[in-house]
Structure 1
Amino acid sequence: MTGPVQVLVVGFDEPAFSGEVLAELTALRERGVVRLVDVVLVERRDDGAFEVLEPPPGSDPDLGRVAAEVLGGGRGADQPSSDDVSPDGTWSLADAVPPGGVAAVALLEHLWAEPLLAAIGRAGGRPLAEHWLPEDDRPG
């Protein structure tokens, strides 16, 4: 099964990587909901440039390599830039992470969505956009 891959950027004021988030992602994978393709930790310096941070202790040493490559547009794992744009030209990592910010950038494969996208395709449609509503904007 191959579902769509989402780039999820999560900001942290004071990162505390206890393993709880990875445990939840593992549980979601076991239920066939999402699969963590990769995750990279980045810091955006005050000058706007990005730096890839080391994975938390005990993590796979290759953690972040795929995500950094995707975000870096082929420049290598240690060089995501502030002007990285998706293939359709609509998104930049700099749009999400403010100068001085720290973020985890995860590539999540949505396993649950593969049959839905296939049905949409058979009906002649294609996804045009997606957006997550912030908690304050969600209906009651």
Structure 2
Amino acid sequence: MAEFRYGPVELYLVGFEGDRPDPGVIAALNKQVSGGHVRLLDFVLVSKSEDGEVTIIEVDDDEEEYGLDLVVDAVGITGEEDIADLADVVPPGGSALVVALELVYQRALAESVVASGGVLLSYERIPAPVVNAIADAAESEGEQE
């Protein structure tokens, strides 16, 4: 059976005001990582001044300074081009975290698919707010019938 070192990775861009993420965001991330649901592969802080100058800080040796109770496993997995593209979305005077998360459960799924001779032809993620809005609309429609 094929054995993968990593499973699929998702990049999240989490915006916030100021130069530090809210402790609640960090606590939620810590909870997911310590629970074994995801593995943190990269954690990059992007800030944009009012005049559009971008500052990028790759958090690698000083996780505690940012409130992380865990280790970033594969610093640098997010490419410079990815970070630059994501930084374009950050508004002037704002900041954001670029977080690369391995979806741990999907590693075993990917290994099984490859071992069975299957090939992943397409993959899409539907954001949680969209899924919940669709489910709410369908539920409301069902109640009206």
Q: TM class by shorter-chain length?
A: 0.5 to 0.7
Gap regions ≥5 residues in structure 2: 137-145
TM-score, with normalisation over the residues of structure 2?
0.59
Identify the residue that residue 120 of structure 1 maps to in structure 2. 113
Q: Cα RMSD over matched residues? A: 3.7
Residue 119 to residue 85, structure 1, CA distance change in 2 (3 Å) = same
* 70, 94, 97: which one aligns with 2:90: 97
Structure 1: state its 5+ residue gaps.
73-83
Work out the CA distance in 1 between the residues paired with 2:32 and 2:48.
29
- Structure 1 residues 114-123 or 42-51, which shifts more? 42-51
Q: Which residue of 1 aligns with 2:75?
A: 66
2-structure distance, mates of 1:134, 1:94: 23
* Bigger fraction of residues in helix: 2
Q: Highest CA radius of gyration, 1 or 2?
A: 2
Q: Residue by residue, what CA displacement relative to the aligned partner does 1:44-97 show, whole Å, maximum 9, x if unpaired? A: 34555421258699427x97x924x7332xxxxxxxxxxx249xxxx9314543
Aligned letter for 2:75? V
**TM-score (ref. length: structure 1):** 0.61
Identity %: 30
Residue 131 of structure 1: aligned partner = 125
Aligned match of 2:48: 44
Query: For 2:30 and 2:8, how far apart are their aligned partners in 1?
Result: 18
State the match for 2:32 in structure 1.
Answer: 28
Change (3 A) 1:123 1:98: farther
